[in-house]
Every structure is written in C-alpha cells, then in structure tokens.
C-alpha cells in the first residue's frame, strides 16, 4: 500500500463516526462498518493443525464481512476446496522447490499487487520470508505472522533466513509461550513484537456432537472395548508408534482395547506395518485424513498425544470440545494448557511404562474420564473458540491500520 493510500485510509477510518461530506467513502467503510481486505499466506492447505486454523480464521473473517483471500505458495492442498465452498478465494503460486527463483518472485509480486490487501497474515516462516519481503517492496506495512511450532535454529543459515523473514512483519504471534521463548532465545524477534495468541476452534454444541457420532458397528469395534484415539499428521515428530506399542501391551494384558488414528502422512505405510508386526492390526483403525475429525473423536473413550514436540495442537482442543479426557506428553505448549489431573494427564516424553500405566488406569475409571473431559470442554468454551481468536486477530489488524 503506497504511503498516500495509507494516509487516505487513516483519514477515512478516523471519520467512521462522523458525517461523510461527499459520496466518496473509503472502500473499507460500508454502512458505518469497517471491512478489510485480508490476505492469508501459507505454503499449502494440506491437512494439519495450522492449516485448519487458517480455515477457521478465513471463515470467521468472511462472516464478519471481510474480503478474504488465501495465497498458497506451493500447492493448494486438501482444504482449498472447503474454503472455496465458503466463497473464499484461493490462489496459488505453484513455486518451484528450493529458494524462490526470480520468475516466481516476480509472479508473487504481481499476485499480491493484484489482490491489493489491507492486511497480510502469514503462517509458516517460509511463507513470511517471501511474502513479507514482497509486501515491503509494495509498501504494505500491515503484515502479521503466526508461528505455529518450534523449529531448529542451530544453523546460522536458518537463523539468517528467520531473521530476515520475521523482520518483515509488524507483529509476530506464537500459539504458545514455549514457541515465543524459543524465538527470544535465538534473538530472532524482540519482546515488543512478540505476542502469545492461542489457537481456536469452532465449538460444536452437544446436539452437533450427537448428530456427528459414528457407531462402533460401522468400524467393527466391540461394544465393550475401550477406544483410544489420536489425530495428527503421520510424521516422525508425532510418534504414533508409541501409542501402537502401548495398545499392544494392553492387549497382552487381556484388556479389550481399540485404537483409531485419524490423519495421513508419509509414515502411514510404516505405521501400518508396525501394527502388523505387533499383531494388533485387527485392533487399529487408520481413518486417514478427515476434514472434520469430530465424528471419530465422539467415538473415543480417551484421546492421546505422544508427540516429541507440539505448539498448541488443534486436535487437543477438538478432543476437549468433544468432552474427551486427554493424555499427552509434557512437551512444547502442552503444559501451558493442560493442568495435570484437572483437565488432562501429562506424561514424561518417551516414558513408555508411564504411558501404559496411565492408559490402563483410565480404562477402568469412567468417572475420572468424564471429569477430565468435562473440564477440558469448559476450558475450550472459555478461552479457545475460533470466534474469540478470530476477533482478537481482527482487532489487532484494525489497531495497526488506525
């Protein structure tokens, strides 16, 4: 946005509550209400927690009357169609792998110039690196960035790229304090530009939860079995093999158990082979990617995360929203939101014996499961609804534009 345009924007926004002296009004002001042109930028809309957050933010922004566009740098991904169904434009650069080439950089500049956003909100450091620098060249100052996970900044090359990327944004949001601390530790962002902003999800009503429930019969699960489950990409950091091993150990104790794994990724075949090696294939249901995991979550008795690293996973919030007890490793941002034995149970990372012991204890304690699940549901309703999170971001947009 050119400086003259920004000045004109500020003047009109200041005059929102005053009579308009002529027919010309800033395009952001319609019937006395501010409408923004927001561009979310991301590498792709593949299945994952941060991608689903972008989906929710876009839907809430459109509901508020904003003109919302998503720019994917690499490829559209599975969630692109869902956004288009909701009237949200998705455009894609289809850039080549590696550092951005000059032709791709020129096409990116042309795309952003055509969209002409008031606000750019980037997700993932790679998206910020290219979009942020392009926005600067176009004099678009309202650039925000959300950091969704911890990264390894041990190499000077990574630190250099991150420093360049983060300097293009006016504000950096982190979905957990742990992520913010990591950026501060490596001196990538000053405290004045860092804000912790949690993830949020649309909170389903009890009626919606009941209407979305799958049946055990549909999945061939015994009525008396305790169903464990997890949701996430099938990648190394999620460590789903720990959960498979725990289920195998419980099955050897003659406990009637079943496991549902929702998600897809490069380790799907490997995890299926591991389940077969453990002789529990008949006890494991690989559900694949689900745009809406709630029908599977409602079927669970216990939700489990065995990750080595997490920010604030959407799957955790969704499990709580479905009133499910949560068992999770005490990594990343999880200890910031899970109060041990109040709204969940925390595990020492990699402690397989503790994982088996905790899961075994919950299988025979339905009252405890209900207490933990209801406590989690109350927390999500209070702090982590998509509507509240989107409104918080929108207020930040307007604050900077003012």
| Predicted local distance difference test score (pLDDT) of residue 1 | 40
- Give 172 or 12, the one with higher predicted confidence: 172
Task: Tell me, yes or no, whether 61 and 85 share the same domain.
Answer: yes
Comparing 168-172, 208-212, 343-347, which segment has the lowest mean pLDDT?
A: 208-212
Dihedral angle of Cα 9, 14, 17, 21, to the nearest 10 degrees: -60
Same domain for 356 and 335, yes or no, is yes
Choose the weakest-confidence range: 24-28, 99-103, 124-128. 24-28
Query: 269 lies in a domain?
Result: yes
pLDDT at 13: 31
Q: What is the pLDDT of residues 111-123, one digit of tens each?
A: 999 999 999 999 9
Q: Do 254 and 122 share a domain, yes or no? A: no
Q: What is the mean pLDDT of residues 363-373?
A: 97
Residues 295 and 378 both lie in one domain? yes
Residue 2 lies in a domain: no
Q: What pLDDT does residue 33 have?
A: 59
* Domain-embedded: residue 109: yes
Tell the residue number behind the tokens 């207020």, with chain if given.
Answer: 395
Answer yes or no: do 339 and 211 share one domain: yes
Domain-located, residue 327: yes
pLDDT at 206: 87
21 found inside a domain: no
Residue 278 lies in a domain: yes
Q: How confident is the model at residue 25 (pLDDT cuts 50, 70, 90)?
A: very low
Burial label for 14, CB within 10 Å (0-12, 13-18, 19+), is exposed
The pLDDT of residue 111 = 96
Instruction: Return d(Cα 105, Cα 112) in angstroms, integer.
Output: 11
CA dist 328 to 232, 239, 357, Å?
13, 12, 13
Which of 26-30, 131-135, 326-330, 394-398 has the lowest average pLDDT?
26-30
Same domain, 223 and 336: yes
Q: Is 223 in the same domain as 165?
A: no
pLDDT per position as a tens digit, 288-343: 999 889 999 999 999 999 999 998 999 999 999 999 999 999 999 999 999 999 99
Strand partners, 92: 72
Rounded percentage of the chain residues whose pLDDT exceeds 70? 92
Q: Say if residue 127 is exposed, middle or buried (CB neighbours under 10 Å; 0-12, 13-18, 19+).
A: buried
Highest mean pLDDT among 204-208, 370-374, 396-400: 370-374
* Containing structural domain, residue 264: 206-383
Q: Are residues 364 and 339 in the same domain?
A: yes
> Using the 8-state DSSP alphabet, how is residue 257 labeled?
E
The answer on 227 and 149 residing in a single domain is no
Q: What was the pLDDT predicted at 360?
A: 97
Q: Would you state the pLDDT for residue 6? A: 35
Strand-by-strand arrangement of the 194-196 sheet: 89-92, 67-75, 37-44, 119-123, 143-147, 171-174, 194-196
Q: Is the pLDDT of residue 176 over 50?
A: yes
Number of domain units in the chain: 2
Q: Is 18 a residue whose pLDDT tops 60? A: no
User: Structure pTM?
Assistant: 0.82
Residue 21 has pLDDT above 60, yes or no: no
Question: Is the per-residue pLDDT at 11 higher than 80?
Answer: no
182 in a structural domain = yes
Within 78-218, strands assigned E span: 89-92, 119-123, 143-147, 171-174, 194-196
- Each residue of 132-154: pLDDT tens digit? 999 999 999 899 999 998 888 88
Q: Which CB contacts under 8 angstroms, 24+ apart, belong to 184-190?
A: 186/153, 186/159, 186/162, 188/153, 188/159, 188/162, 188/163
* 229 in the same domain as 153: no
> Cβ contacts of residue 115 below 8 Å, gap of 6+?
37, 39, 69, 71, 91
What is the average per-residue pLDDT within 71-98?
Answer: 93
Residue 109 sits in a domain whose CATH number is: 3.40.50.2000
pLDDT band at residue 28 under the 50/70/90 scheme = low
**Are 41 and 151 in the same domain?**
yes
Residue 5 located in a structural domain: no
Q: Are residues 393 and 369 in the same domain?
A: no
Residue 256, φ and ψ in degrees, nearest 5: -85, 105
The angle at the Cα of 297, spanning 289 to 266, to the nearest 5 degrees, equals 25
Average pLDDT, rounded, for the chain: 89
Residue 32 has pLDDT above 50, yes or no: no
């Amino acid at each position: 946005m050119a400086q003259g345009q920004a000045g004109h924007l500020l003047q009109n926004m200041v005059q929102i509550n005053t009579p308009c002296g002529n027919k010309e009004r800033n395009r952001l002001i319609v019937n006395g209400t501010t409408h923004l042109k927001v561009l979310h930028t991301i590498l792709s809309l593949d299945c994952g927690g941060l991608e689903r957050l972008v989906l929710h933010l876009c839907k809430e922004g459109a509901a508020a009357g904003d003109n919302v566009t998503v720019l994917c740098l690499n490829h559209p991904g599975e969630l692109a169609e869902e956004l288009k169904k909701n009237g949200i434009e998705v455009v894609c650069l289809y850039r080549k792998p590696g550092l951005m080439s000059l032709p791709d950089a020129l096409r990116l500049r042309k795309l952003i110039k055509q969209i002409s956003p008031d606000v750019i909100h980037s997700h993932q450091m790679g998206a910020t690196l290219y979009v942020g620098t392009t926005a600067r060249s176009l004099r678009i100052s309202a650039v925000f960035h959300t950091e969704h996970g911890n990264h390894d900044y041990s190499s000077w090359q990574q630190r250099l790229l991150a420093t360049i990327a983060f300097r293009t944004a006016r504000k950096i949001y982190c979905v957990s304090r742990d992520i913010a601390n990591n950026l501060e530790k490596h001196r990538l962002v000053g405290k004045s530009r860092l804000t912790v902003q949690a993830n949020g999800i649309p909170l389903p009503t009890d009626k919606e939860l009941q209407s979305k429930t799958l049946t055990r019969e549909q999945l061939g699960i015994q009525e008396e079995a305790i169903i464990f489950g997890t949701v996430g990409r099938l990648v190394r950091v999620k460590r789903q093999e720990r959960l498979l091993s725990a289920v195998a150990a419980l099955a050897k104790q003659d406990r009637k158990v079943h496991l549902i794994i929702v998600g897809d990724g490069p380790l799907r075949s490997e995890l299926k082979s591991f389940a077969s090696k453990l002789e529990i294939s008949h006890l494991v249901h690989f559900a694949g990617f689900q745009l809406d995991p709630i029908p599977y979550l409602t079927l669970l008795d216990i939700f489990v995360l065995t990750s080595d690293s997490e920010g604030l996973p959407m799957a955790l919030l969704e499990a709580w929203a479905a009133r499910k007890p949560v068992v999770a490793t005490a990594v990343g941002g999880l200890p910031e939101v899970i109060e041990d034995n109040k709204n969940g149970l925390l595990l020492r990372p990699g402690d397989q014996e503790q994982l088996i012991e905790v899961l075994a204890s919950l299988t025979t304690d339905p009252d405890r499961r209900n207490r933990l699940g209801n406590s989690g549901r109350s927390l999500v309703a209070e702090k982590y609804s998509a509507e509240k999170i989107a409104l918080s971001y929108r207020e930040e947009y307007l604050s900077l534009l003012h």
